[in-house]
Structure 1
Amino acid sequence: MLSLQPSFANSYLLRFFIYISVLLAVSGARAQTLGGSSVFNFLKLPNTPQLTALGGVNVSTLSNDVGMAFYNPSLLNKDMHTRVNLVFNDFYAGIRIYHLAWGYRSENLNTNFGGGIQYIDYGTLPQTDASGNQSGVFRPLDWVMQVSASRSYLNRWDYGATVKYIHSGYGIYRSNGLAIDFGVLYRDSAALFSASVLARNMGFQLKKYEGTDPDDIPFDLQAGITKRLRDAPFSFSITAQHLHQFDIRYNDTLYNSNNGIDNSGRKFTFDKLFRHIVLATQVHISEQLAFSFGYNHLRRKELNIDKTTNGLNGFSLGVEISLKKIQLQYSRAYYQNNTALNQFGLSLKLNEYFGLGKLGERMGW
């Protein structure tokens, strides 16, 4: 990204974002709960094939994929100028997920901007009463729309923030909310190293579902590092999630009791620690071809079925093919009993396909 000399405005904005993020992160951490008792959990879904292939959680991989900046605003950089990322997910049971992200660089403001939307269509479902009598159909939907901005500080630092509006509608039950993300990135191009800290989904419900109490938004505090080898085509990432809470292991006492599982006296220290970790690697075959692999231990443990073969649960892989003016992406992530999520992506730069004349010149198109 563009290196800037320190300025009063840059320093002031950075301190302001850090103060606000720490304040919201502390309040979010206090409210965080386990066992799926938060709303808008679709915010946890990876939005782009590269992120999915890297284990679904990654904050430090540098690329020109504007979809990665949708997840972590500090990754938003000038190489994403006029770039658009289009993604389609073939999810389970006919659920369709659509994603659009874009980037723009303003030289006058020394700022990178981005935005996008994630839209989840659950299909048409029967609407029934308490006795099971069908009275019609309805179409549940979830979506989030967001805008982001990032700037550089000194030679190796970047920081960015995202504001997102969240909407959920299940027939007559509707809810919406507001949240922000804030990330800080350190990058050393000479050492082929990058590291980032990200606070996600710091916010609240604006409107609760009818007949319910307000619920928490799925806040998450994440940190990660990425290192690329100088003499080999590999890069490795380690990302930690849910850093605000050590014990994220869900103890289902009813399930354990029904299945004769006795966990009394066991500490599960290693399991608790490793559930925070997401491992990933990329193989850079050439400038036109790269493969990605990831492993998410938390996803594997939460979706494993006891006393059955769980195969590749928690593992993911993907490929990216870069052509002259377009990038093609594909990822496959295994969730349960080797049932996988397939994700397809397309990335391109709009200014390489059409111009805007004098207006485009004034906009820096």
Structure 2
Amino acid sequence: MKHFSARGAAGFCLLLGVMGLLPARAQQIGGRTVFPFLDLPAGAQQAALGGTNVSARNDDPTMLFANPALLNPEMDGRLALSYVAYVADIKQSTAAYVFNTQKAGRFGIGLTYLNYGQLESYDAAGNSLGTFGVNEYTVGVSDSYTKGKFTFGATTKLAVSSIAGSRSLAGVADAGVVFKHPTQDFTVGLAAKNAGYQFSPYPGTDRGPLPLDVELGATIKPEHMPLRLSLTAHHLQQWDIQYLDPNQRGQPDANNVVKKPTKSFGDNLARHFTASATLVLGQNFNLRVGYNHLQRRELRLDNTSGSAGLSFGFMLKISTFQLDYTHATLQAAGSSEYFTLARNLDSLFKKKE
């Protein structure tokens, strides 16, 4: 009990400390932060659930990127490898592994690598200088502990961004808590993510804020229904997350007077939420669908939104392997495909023995 009490106090203080930074660190979104790739979903499940979810508690190790408090016994000994192909040559790879030390607690190790491919370089006169690479990655360690109905978790990460040999470094921290109902399939999660400091900016640039995000969500599976529903509120540290393009032409009214778009309470409120549903067709097969209104509004084209903000996926277990797949629409002009493969390594080694 002393072990859990000390760790509980430390974790709770850490969470309060991160939350206490919010008023001073409130930020705009959409290109006003450094290391924006920290907001990208790390695995297929998170992408299928609208890209943002802090309460889906299951055996997927990549969910430690969504909320470190989601670490749980079902993840012990599991390794997950994830791959996503974005537009053009942009690719992202992720690895996550969870293990339980019994005495020191449950730990997770996560690595995400984003490669933008090779880009052409030119001098001031337009002469080709060959190609250069652009990539970004994070490596982090998560720790969680459970006290009664609550699980507390924290992650520390090193984030690195590299362009043509120049690098920028940042220290990043996530903290979260998850409440799990003792008898019902109901969880509530709270997480403060991407709080940190840019140690070294790119040469000739100033330090910038990281994409801080505070998220609160709930997941429930009603009894006798094959549906698991999630609703997540994000960017709680900042109310106004609407962006209006100053160059956007308005629509003429009945008097042929052009009125430019204005911000609305309803649209701004909706941008703070993602919603998702999982159709549970058994222990070995699930179907998922998610909707992200902020993504839909920010990635729409001038004349259509298409299916931007929508994501579809499934989970399939074959023998000892689990495959998660998601198709997420970025905008009418492009989409991304997520693949996550997971297996329990403990059972693999036991069989060999």
TM above 0.5, yes or no, is yes
Q: What's the CA shift for 1:262?
A: 3.0
Q: What's the CA shift for 1:133?
A: 1.8
Question: Using the alignment, how far apart are the partners of 1:200 and 1:257 within structure 2?
Answer: 36
Counterpart position of 1:17: 14
Change (3 A) 1:160 1:7: closer
Q: Do the aligned partners of 2:244 and 2:263 also contact (CA within 8 Å) in 1? A: no
**Which residue among 280, 285, 289 is the counterpart of 2:276?**
280
Question: Using the alignment, how far apart are the partners of 1:124 and 1:356 within structure 2?
Answer: 43
Deviates more, 1:288-297 or 1:248-257: 248-257
Counterpart position of 1:297: 293
Give RMSD over aligned pairs: 2.2
Counterpart position of 2:44: 49
Q: What's the CA shift for 1:53?
A: 0.4
Q: Deviations over 1:224-254 (max 9, x none)?
A: 0111011111011100010111110012213
Question: Using the alignment, how far apart are the partners of 1:17 and 1:238 within structure 2?
Answer: 25
Q: Do the aligned partners of 1:312 and 1:338 also contact (CA within 8 Å) in 2? A: no
Question: Using the alignment, how far apart are the partners of 1:262 and 1:192 within structure 2?
Answer: 49
Q: Do the aligned partners of 1:24 and 1:203 also contact (CA within 8 Å) in 2? A: no
Question: Using the alignment, how far apart are the partners of 2:219 and 2:172 within structure 1?
Answer: 27
Q: Deviations over 1:102-149 (max 9, x none)?
A: 00012123x110011110111111111233321121111111111100
Q: Tell me, what secondary structure is at the counterpart of 2:88?
A: helix
Q: Tell me, what secondary structure is at the counterpart of 2:247?
A: helix
Question: Using the alignment, how far apart are the partners of 1:15 and 1:60 within structure 2?
Answer: 18
Q: Deviations over 1:319-343 (max 9, x none)?
A: 0011221101110100111621001
Report percent identity of matched pairs: 32
Q: Tell me, what secondary structure is at the counterpart of 1:354?
A: helix
**Which residue among 51, 57, 62 is the counterpart of 2:57?**
62
Change (3 A) 1:228 1:275: same
**Which residue among 106, 115, 123 is the counterpart of 2:109?**
115
Q: Is 2:140 the counterpart of 1:143?
A: no
Change (3 A) 1:59 1:273: same
Q: Deviations over 1:185-230 (max 9, x none)?
A: 0010412211011000000101001101111110001000111011
Q: Do the aligned partners of 2:78 and 2:98 also contact (CA within 8 Å) in 1? A: yes
Task: State how 1:191-202 maps to structure 2 within 5 Å.
Answer: 191-202=184-195
Counterpart position of 2:153: 160
Q: Tell me, what secondary structure is at the counterpart of 2:295?
A: helix
Question: Using the alignment, how far apart are the partners of 1:169 and 1:44 within structure 2?
Answer: 18
Question: Using the alignment, how far apart are the partners of 1:281 and 1:175 within structure 2?
Answer: 38
Q: Do the aligned partners of 1:310 and 1:338 also contact (CA within 8 Å) in 2? A: no
Question: Using the alignment, how far apart are the partners of 2:310 and 2:2 within structure 1?
Answer: 42
Change (3 A) 1:78 1:272: same
Q: Is 2:225 the counterpart of 1:232?
A: yes
Question: Using the alignment, how far apart are the partners of 2:183 and 2:57 within structure 1?
Answer: 14
Counterpart position of 2:302: 306
Q: Is 2:121 the counterpart of 1:127?
A: yes
Question: Using the alignment, how far apart are the partners of 1:79 and 1:230 within structure 2?
Answer: 21
Question: Using the alignment, how far apart are the partners of 2:70 and 2:189 within structure 1?
Answer: 9
Q: Do the aligned partners of 2:84 and 2:93 also contact (CA within 8 Å) in 1? A: yes
Q: Tell me, what secondary structure is at the counterpart of 1:346?
A: strand
Question: Using the alignment, how far apart are the partners of 2:328 and 2:251 within structure 1?
Answer: 30
State how many pairs are aligned.
349
Gaps of 5+ in 2: none
Q: What one-letter code is carried by the residue in structure 1 that aligns with 2:100?
A: R
Question: Using the alignment, how far apart are the partners of 1:184 and 1:261 within structure 2?
Answer: 49
TM-score (norm 1): 0.90
Q: What one-letter code is carried by the residue in structure 2 that aligns with 1:277?
A: F
Deviates more, 1:273-282 or 1:331-340: 331-340
**Which residue among 267, 273, 278 is the counterpart of 1:271?**
267
Q: What one-letter code is carried by the residue in structure 2 that aligns with 1:250?
A: Y
Q: Deviations over 1:60-81 (max 9, x none)?
A: 0111001011221000112211
Gaps of 5+ in 1: 359-365
Question: Using the alignment, how far apart are the partners of 1:86 and 1:180 within structure 2?
Answer: 22
Question: Using the alignment, how far apart are the partners of 2:40 and 2:336 within structure 1?
Answer: 11
Question: Using the alignment, how far apart are the partners of 1:312 and 1:8 within structure 2?
Answer: 48
Q: What's the CA shift for 1:10?
A: 3.3
Q: Deviations over 1:8-37 (max 9, x none)?
A: 3133223322232223333322xx123411
Q: Is 2:176 the counterpart of 1:176?
A: no
Q: What one-letter code is carried by the residue in structure 2 that aligns with 1:252?
A: D
